[in-house]
Chain A
């Protein structure tokens, strides 16, 4: 189908304002927060499930690739249109459809900004737990698409643990419902398959989320260490004693410096590591728990502990943590972040390897990690204008993935595979494992039109 006709048809479905196609718009929707760029042939913004269904049906009938897009903040190339086609932008579908406090559920459209939802819930004393560092801009659809995690996921689980139901537009434009407000649903767990599917199996047009009352008490501690090992061992010891704090977040010296420059949080510039421990729950027993944690820190040679006195101090600490990725952009123009996960006990060992890799490829690496989950985020810093450096970056990233896999971990904890880590899939899955996944993909999207070229590498004997 020629482009003119395609555009004319799409305009009929969603209106002139919602179909974008010009050199400028192609540049505006060619990227996400990864290094990948590729232009779509057309950008469509939809305002209802019916419109999504119409557009998807049209794409199906005309064999046009279709890529769902939230805010485009994923770090793996997930919303980049590698094979062109339609970029389906869901940011205008941003309403809360049903706030059901009694049943502790909320039904939302996929384009709602995660933090906007939380702010609305806060007015009722409620909370939606997942808290990716980018929550002030990401959409719920994108969070589900990548199965986003965040500091508090240590205790509460990742996005898919909080999505209980969804309305999904299938590849041919049919609309189905999976799950619902209940906790357990009969039949196949399609919701489980859809979480983290990165827009390759269907388009989520509505999500039912679990919400919980806000914790009665919160305690946030900033623990400062003179060595990364001490910090790491503290984490292992806390969990070893059977405690699961709400967060156990760590940052290394390079990150501390960048964050301090950007946010002036008061992190000491010479600290080797800081650990952010947050406890939440009932008031009763909170002090005792805090004491136990502080004792463990002291046993592991903590240099200093600061307990946030109020919400403002807590906010400041978290602003520093949540802005960490961005802040490293001050050190070098670009970064590539790996989010491999290893068994928690092997974190110190893995970090040492990461440091070696940095040395080997002559690249600065800043580290931020969800220490409690063993989820690393080595940020490899570089300048993409330097092509030799760029090549070293990719080699280093691949080696880091290999290390994680060898440690008995995996290549991505929360940012997804997208384009960037596709070549790492073979490090953690056998050809048979991937063949099973390909069958699922074929069942949902036999024509391979939904976000093609992502997640699953072509099989060795390509079809």
Chain B
């Protein structure tokens, strides 16, 4: 049997640019808790090298290291002076590990559901049904939900968000721009209010919003867990809907989806092609076209703030702080714009959060499977937030929202900046 390459060529080159300086270690939230080398980005880059060169077996223990001591938060990538893309290596190894060892059936089930949108949206009582499907071991049983307190996981939307909005929303007067709106799974199934806010605010800015009904999961959570084949289905579905030359932007309300659509699609398609998957040039071109148009919704709003209706100063000020989602600040290098949006709201008294760009510790399913480490990381975050005495924590990622809100003083509201903006616009 021909030797199967572990990693695509683009990805593989990274292992040779790691000079083992260790500077990334300072930025890894998991290492701070574990204090062993497998938790360091450096360690996992070195393991990737051995795996790729065939000098180390992809054992259960190695698999565990890649899954249980990494949040794929991208902090190491953002802070590697040598430009090593650890995230590409680690997710590549996870993929191979998943191929060898399979992945947990609950996860597989969830991913397939996320991927095949129809199964979800066609289900009339989605909320109840999903609770039943994921119930027992995953959601209902507190013991098995890892670091998440099940009682505090928000209820599912009554209906998926996409079923509650028309496919095209036109503003009343002059049309300033036309955008596609990619709402992630979280908005669709958990945080419908974020979706409502995005549509409402954009409409008030004179923007025509197209919300393709058949949009799928961005694929990143699936991809991070090593299920690349399923992720590929998502990518292809989304490219068909979102790689359109005739729109001004593709806005995203979730940092994780945004980072996936902007940074990962083209890279991943190339990687998969090198590894033998049939991927066409047209698909890669489509991924690049879409990537160029992807904008976090706060970035879009900040760039066109002159379109916003006049905001009236309200009564008592609301004290607000902001958490930088890893996939936004490290993945897309965005930190100023969400803050600008918040500061532009007259009723907001903005306070900066110490360690604002430290990871929240969630990492998708990481918090469920590796509760102890996750909980410690989240604790640092919530302690910092509570110390600011803010009434609202704003953040641009529903994933961070879920994790932080689960551990935070319930008196502090956790919202997307656009939700606050909507409140201000509607008085």
Contacts and interface: CB of A to CB of B under 8 A. Distances in A.
Interface of A: 20, 22-25, 27-29, 31-33, 45, 71-73, 89, 91-92, 94, 113, 115, 134, 136-137, 262-263, 323-330, 333-335, 383-385
Interface in B76-109: 80-84
A53 to B, nearest CB: 21
Contact of A24 (B19, B35, B56, B80): B56
Contacts of A134: 21-23
A335 B19 contact: yes
B240 interface: no
Given A28-B47, A326-B23, A333 B38 contact: no
Contacts of B61: 22, 24
Contacts of A72: 22, 37
Interface residues of B, number: 30
Interface centre among A262, A329, A330, A335 (most CB of B within 10 A): A329
A28 B22 contact: no
Which 10 pairs, one residue from A and one from B, show the smallest C-beta to C-beta distance?
A326-B81, A329-B82, A136-B26, A28-B37, A323-B81, A333-B16, A329-B19, A327-B81, A73-B22, A91-B35
B19 A334 contact: yes
Contacts of B43: 28
B82 A24 contact: no
A334 B23 CA distance: 15
Interface in B112-143: none
Interface of B: 16-23, 25-26, 35-38, 43, 46-47, 50, 55-57, 59, 61-62, 65, 80-84
Contacts of B21: 33, 73, 134, 325-326, 329
B19 A20 contact: no
A326 B20 contact: no
Contacts of A324: 81
Given A113-B26, A134-B23, A328-B82, 4 more contacts: A24-B65, A33-B19, A33-B20, A329-B19
Contacts of A137: 22-23, 25-26
A28 B46 CA distance: 7
B45 to A, nearest CB: 11
A115 B22 CA distance: 14
B23 A333 contact: no
16 contacts: A23-B57, A24-B59, A25-B38, A27-B46, A28-B37, A28-B47, A33-B22, A72-B22, A73-B22, A91-B35, A92-B35, A262-B81, A325-B21, A326-B82, A329-B84, A333-B17
Nearest to B61: A24
Contacts of A94: 35
Contacts of B47: 24, 27-28
Nearest to A72: B22
Given A23-B57, A29-B37, A262-B83, A326 B50 contact: no
